[in-house]
Amino acid sequence: MKYRWSGTVAYDAEQAEQRLEEYFRAIGYRAEAGALRWVRGSLWKSLTTLSPRELPMTVEAKVQPWGTYTLVDLTYELPRPIRSLSALDADLLVTELRELTRYLQHGTADFEHMAQLERAATRRARHALLGTLFAVVLLLVPVAWLFYQLNLPSTLAALLGGALGGILASYLFWRLLHR
């Protein structure tokens, strides 16, 4: 998923680059050498922490002087996420963009509010994961007993149980994450 933001600021390109660098560093991005490009997150971190700020994401900026103003053009790239984004994840990403606009215009941003949104999104994802695991275990114990009563071969029972558990876990996690 890609999205772009463009705007103007009433100061020179050097100050715009400096503010961009400060802002993205403050919200967890790492600068790539030699370009106005920042990255954050990774595949494995997003799976282990469930934080929306650990989803792999890249931001590229182009800054161009325009009279007494500076044009700022940003491209955000979020590769296909490992898990679907919840409403709280999307709220955090939108808030980060709003606060970037505020930071570029006025030099201030509400970093604490963004941290609170991240904690809430992470907490929701963890609750969804724990709820999913609990429900799958509760539902698959009777299924295992049923397979035992039907005298199914162990490989077939394991295959059916694994498939049913995987489908059930995927659906429940998605439902719990989006409730």
Number of domains in the chain: 1
Residue 47 domain flag: yes
Report phi then psi at 69, rounded to 5.
Answer: -110, 170
Q: What are the pLDDT digits (tens) for 114-127? A: 999 999 999 998 88
> CA 37 to CA 46: how far, in whole Å?
20
Q: Is 92 helix (H, G, I), strand (E, B) or coil?
A: helix
Residue 139 domain flag: no
Residue 162 pLDDT level (bands cut at 50, 70, 90): confident
**Does the structure show a pLDDT above 90 at 166?**
no
Residue 68 domain flag: yes
> CA 126 to CA 78: how far, in whole Å?
21
**Helices 111-149 and 87-106, interaxial angle, to 10°?**
170
Residue 38 domain flag: yes
Range of the domain at 15: 2-83
Residue 164 domain flag: no
> What CATH number is attached to the domain comprising 65?
3.30.310.80
Q: What are the pLDDT digits (tens) for 30-86? A: 999 888 999 998 878 877 788 889 888 999 999 999 889 999 999 999 887 666 778
